């Protein structure tokens, strides 16, 4: 069963709590929190404070996607805020041995969160291979990061299948342009986590959309525990 992770980038930013509760009630599994630094991507989004407050209003795991040139500057803050998973981009690493990706993935894991590694559409899978043993999740961006509501980049399907064919046993996640009409083509190639912003937050009936999506794909997802709801 596919893990459904609505992205709050597509939510109404002045009614985030209502949007997140609607996704939780609809039966979604994780909340995807896009963080942007207006440098790695030409947009700005969500701070550790937002993660901290979301942690108090939903029991769903928070899947934090750091689209930042220097994620190390806020890693501790997002961990302390309660992130259940933190994903960094492989593109931030320069040439070894200065490449910080491995150390950052290990640090995320050491703090008890899922360590994720993201690749932009144009980044080849080969860039991620050295880090797979340290990644609980690989995010194959299916759009150029920065904005929701874009069209899925079909060339990424091949990357997802190639990743599955390496025997990688972690979560395989896609983010950007994932919709009801393309999800099966993604799960058939090994996708196990679908980040969906527009397709879920713009749905007139998210619970019905989730029910239809539930039948897509046959991947058992060993959902990483659901945290207890913290009383506000």
Kindly list the residues in this chain that would bind Zn ion in the complex (CB under 5 A). Answer: 34, 65, 175
- Chosen residue from 29, 34, 63, 136 binding ligand DX5 by CB under 6 A: 34
Active site residue 175: yes
Cβ(65)–Cβ(87) below 8 Å: yes
- Chosen residue from 54, 81, 183, 195 binding ligand DX5 by CB under 6 A: 195
Q: Which is nearer to Zn ion, 84 or 175 (CB)?
A: 175
Tokens of 114: 């899922």
Q: Give the 3-state secondary structure of residue 37.
A: strand
For tokens 């390496």, what's the residue? 166
Determine, following the binding rule CB under 6 A, whether residue 63 of this chain makes contact with ligand DX5: no
For tokens 């209003």, what's the residue? 57
Least separation in angstroms between CB 97 and ligand DX5:
29
Determine, following the binding rule CB under 6 A, whether residue 7 of this chain makes contact with ligand DX5: yes
User: Which candidate, 1, 63, 65, 67, places its Cα nearest to that of 213?
Assistant: 1
- Chosen residue from 71, 85, 176, 217 binding ligand DX5 by CB under 6 A: 176
User: CA 156, CA 152: separation in Å to the nearest integer?
Assistant: 8
Say which of 29, 63, 136, 175 is annotated catalytic: 175
Determine, following the binding rule CB under 6 A, whether residue 182 of this chain makes contact with ligand DX5: no
User: Which candidate, 109, 150, 112, places its Cα nearest to that of 131?
Assistant: 109
Active site residue 84: no
Active-site residue numbers?
34, 175
């Amino acid at each position: 069963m596919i893990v459904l992770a609505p992205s709050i980038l597509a939510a109404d930013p002045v009614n985030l709590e209502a949007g997140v509760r609607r996704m939780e009630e609809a039966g979604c599994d994780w909340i995807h929190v896009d963080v942007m630094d207006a440098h790695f991507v030409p947009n700005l989004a969500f701070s550790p404070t937002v993660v901290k407050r979301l942690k108090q209003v939903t029991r769903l795991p928070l899947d934090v996607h750091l689209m930042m040139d220097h994620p190390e500057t806020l890693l501790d803050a997002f961990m302390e805020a309660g992130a259940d998973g933190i994903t960094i981009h492989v593109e931030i690493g320069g040439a070894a041995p200065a490449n910080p990706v491995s150390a950052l993935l290990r640090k995320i894991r050491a703090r008890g969160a899922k360590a994720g590694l993201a690749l932009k559409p144009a980044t080849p899978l080969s860039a991620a291979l050295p880090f797979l043993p340290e990644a609980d999740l690989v995010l194959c961006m299916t759009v150029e990061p920065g904005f929701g509501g874009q069209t899925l980049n079909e060339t990424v399907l091949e990357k997802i299948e190639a990743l599955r064919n390496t025997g990688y046993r972690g979560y395989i996640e896609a983010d950007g342009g994932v919709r009801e009409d393309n999800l099966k083509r993604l799960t058939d190639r090994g996708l196990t986590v679908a980040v969906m912003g527009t397709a879920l937050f713009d749905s007139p009936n998210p619970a019905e959309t989730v029910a239809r999506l539930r039948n897509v794909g046959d991947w058992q997802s060993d959902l990483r525990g659901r945290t207890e709801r913290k009383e506000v």
